[in-house]
């Protein structure tokens, strides 16, 4: 390496410049570390308060709702389901587990009705055009598709993940909240719980 001859003033100026750069990068790194720490702390606080921030849990009264079906033909309310068990399922066309469980639910819809349990699927935040196209793609459903286009019912139930199904008993109380794809065994268990 070739040594250059610099006078003391130039060397001092170069050293100050290097120090400024190091200080700048140290400040940037400290800022990123503090920001990451704040995000982690906020997530811990969110986890600690999650079940207290409006989420509906087992034992709660099921929040009321008034939603129009996919084709705008009928308005459905929570009150019309009282006196019978209800499986209230929240889903979206973008949700792979939702897509997988729909044929199973459709195949068992008559059995649910005979057992005295209603089933309603609430689409969250999507347009009727998109949902109608999706329902046609899968061959239709026997059960009602309710439209929560502004996500007000989704918010009332405190939903963060899809699919989620609420088992609601004859008195309108939430028996269980189930997050995830429903299989045959779980569906049969839900029907029993809704009738208890």
Per-residue pLDDT tens digits for 77-90? 999 988 899 999 99
**How would you class 109 by CB atoms within 10 Å of its CB: exposed for 0-12, middle for 13-18, buried for 19 or more?**
middle
- For the chain, the distance separating the N- and C-terminal CA atoms, rounded to the nearest angstrom, is 85
Q: 101 and 181 in contact (C-beta within 8 Å)?
A: yes
Tell me the CATH number for domain 66-195. 3.40.30.10
Per-residue pLDDT tens digits for 97-152? 999 999 999 999 999 999 999 999 999 999 999 999 999 999 999 999 999 999 99
Q: What is the dihedral sign for C-alpha 185, 188, 190, 196? A: negative
Mean pLDDT of 39-65: 70
Calculate the alpha carbon distances from 45 to 50, 51, 128 in Å. Answer: 8, 11, 36
Amino acid 21: pLDDT:
78
Judged against a pLDDT cut of 70, whether residue 60 lies above it is answered with: yes
pTM over 0.75? The answer is no
Amino acid 165: pLDDT:
96
The residues, any chain, with a CB within 8 Å of residue 151's CB and separated by 6 or more, are 124, 125
């Amino acid at each position: 390496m070739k040594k250059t001859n610099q006078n003391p003033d130039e060397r001092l100026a170069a050293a100050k410049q290097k120090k400024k750069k190091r200080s700048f990068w140290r400040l940037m790194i400290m800022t990123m570390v503090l920001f990451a720490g704040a995000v982690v702390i906020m997530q811990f606080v969110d986890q600690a308060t999650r079940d207290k921030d409006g989420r509906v849990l087992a034992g709660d009264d099921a929040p009321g709702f008034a939603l129009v079906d996919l084709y705008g033909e009928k308005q459905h309310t929570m009150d019309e389901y009282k006196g019978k068990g209800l499986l209230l399922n929240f889903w979206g066309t973008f949700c792979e587990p939702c897509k997988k469980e729909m044929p199973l639910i459709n195949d068992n819809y008559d059995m649910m009705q005979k057992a005295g349990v209603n089933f309603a699927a609430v689409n969250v935040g999507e347009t009727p055009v998109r949902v109608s196209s999706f329902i046609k793609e899968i061959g239709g459903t026997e059960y009602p598709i309710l439209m929560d286009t502004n996500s007000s019912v989704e918010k009332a139930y405190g939903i963060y993940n899809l699919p989620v199904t609420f088992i609601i008993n004859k008195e309108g109380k939430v028996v269980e909240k189930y997050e995830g794809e429903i299989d045959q065994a779980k569906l049969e268990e839900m029907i029993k719980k809704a009738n208890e």
